[in-house]
Amino acid sequence: MVNVFPFRGLRPVPEHAQRLASPPYDVISSEEARTRCRDNPYSFLRVIKPEVDFEPTVNPFQKKVYEKGKSNLLTLMNRRILLRDRQPCFYLYKQILGQHRQTGLVAVVPVDDYLSGKIKKHEHTQPDKVRDRAELIRTLGAQTGPVFLTYRRSAQLQALSDEAMQTEPVYNFSNGQGVQHVFYVIDKQSLIEEIRQAFKEIDFLYIADGHHRSEAAAKVCLDLRREHPDYTASSPFNYFLSVIFPHDEMMILPYNRVLKDLNNLTPDELLARLEKVCHLQSLDVELYQPEQLHTLGMYMDKKWYRLSFLQRPEDDPVQSLDVTLLQEHILKPLFNILDARNDKRIKFVGGLDSVSQLKQLVDSGEFAVGFSLHPTGIEQVMRVADAGQVMPPKSTWFEPKLLSGLVTHLLDEE
């Protein structure tokens, strides 16, 4: 049984929504964020990446930086750029990218469901990143970045979603990157209750993206429970902000790899060694994105190759992933890359144009070889989470990204 709850969202007034909404904090550098904020005093990046208001030499993890984020949030509220809904609501967040459409329910979910495993995860978190987001949540008194959750599709929930979208959206705009963002408010109490009851028929939720945000919310919750032993179940810090999508609407793009060198191998020596673990086929193409699982593309010396693994373990949910096969059969034994997350010789390239980026990086001479992968499937991600295992680093790139600022969950008791 899954629990979802409405909340009094803090939202931009419609005329400022497009200008205020921002990319998530973790897909944009501080330098790019400063550029975006230069002519936009309302950008939500000033709240979620408050270092933009300081010189680049200032440590972004100082208390004064987090306090600046709080000040910026209060300014938006005091100027009535952000207003809080009068009653608890659900919201629907629809994104359109070309022919792809995905629609998620915006709700708060219990931290206890995350701690008990009803909300399943598939990644480890890094303590410094959790501390950063937890400090921001505590300073702001708000959760600003939604966790991207998914569930196995329900016909009943689809029907309720369709009903909710019969009303006019409160926001409907393009972010200039080809994504249409459409946002609905669900304030009809009978529909809210129907949605809550329908989610109780769902066994589990799965984190697609936002492991650090959910872990930070849990840390803040447990800290506040210790500090306030008289807390109640309704205390807002017991819940975290999320957008929940049906699994078959998820779009996962590949996370490709480029390597700085050939580990003292010549191109011919590398090809000879690869033939011991893969079927190797040269290709006469401009770009190559593998069309099926257990197949890789390799780009080297301005030429593409198709690599098909000779051994394909299917039983283990992690060992059968293409990112694992690449790491265990190629990167580790042939390139001596033992820790892909921290090795400086490897770079990860994800997103809509990642294959062309890979080619450009290799053609520039900065990198010697690149590997393109077939996207990890959402069923594979859920299978790993169901097994209680962890995905290798940089296994998935979810697109489109959820904008920050369209709705915020305040942690006060008002």
* Res. 314: pLDDT tops 90: no
Per residue in 277-308, pLDDT (tens digit) is 999 999 999 999 999 989 999 999 999 999 99
3-state secondary structure of 384: helix
Average pLDDT over residues 93-119: 97
Give the H or E element holding residue 211. helix 211-227
Do 367 and 260 touch, CB atoms closer than 8 A? yes
In order of their start, the domains of the chain are 10-251+399-410 (no CATH), 252-397 (3.30.1760.10)
Radius of gyration of the chain (CA): 23
Beta strands per DSSP E along 247-380: 252-253, 255-259, 278-283, 295-300, 303-309, 346-350, 369-373
Per residue in 186-206, pLDDT (tens digit) is 999 999 999 999 999 999 999
Q: What is the largest CA-CA distance in the chain?
A: 69
Q: What secondary structure does DSSP assign to 225-260, as a single string?
A: HHH-TT--TT-GGGEEEEEEEEGGG--EE-EEEEES
Higher pLDDT, 126 or 413: 126
* Backbone torsions φ then ψ of 229, nearest 5 degrees: -60, -15
> Within 10 A of 118 (CB to CB), how many other CB atoms are there?
17
In terms of Cα–Cα distance, which of 360, 192, 362 is closest to 261? 362
> Which residue(s) pair with 268 in the sheet?
none
* Res. 143: pLDDT tops 80: yes
d(CA 215, CA 122): 12
* Res. 176: pLDDT tops 80: no
* Res. 325: pLDDT tops 80: yes
Asked whether the whole model's pTM tops 0.85, one would answer yes
* Res. 337: pLDDT tops 70: yes
| pLDDT above 90: percentage of residues in the chain | 93
Kindly list the distances between the CA atom of residue 178 and the CA atoms of 99, 181, 399, 400, in Å, as whole numbers in the listed order: 11, 10, 12, 10
Grade residue 341 by pLDDT with cuts at 50, 70 and 90.
confident
d(CA 57, CA 21): 26
> Which residue(s) pair with 148 in the sheet?
209, 243
Grade residue 66 by pLDDT with cuts at 50, 70 and 90.
very high
Residue 180, both tokens: 């249409």
Per residue in 255-281, pLDDT (tens digit) is 999 999 999 999 999 999 999 999 999
Kindly list the distances between the CA atom of residue 90 and the CA atoms of 175, 185, 187, 233, 400, in Å, as whole numbers in the listed order: 23, 6, 7, 19, 21
Q: Burial code of 244-271, b = ≥16 C-beta within 10 A, e = fewer? A: bbbbebbbbbbbbbbbeeebebeeeebb
Higher pLDDT, 185 or 310: 185
Average pLDDT over residues 61-68: 97
Output the CA torsion sign for 63, 109, 407, 6. negative
Predicted pLDDT at 414: 61
Per residue in 346-402, pLDDT (tens digit) is 999 998 899 999 999 999 999 999 999 999 999 999 999 999 999 998 899 999 999
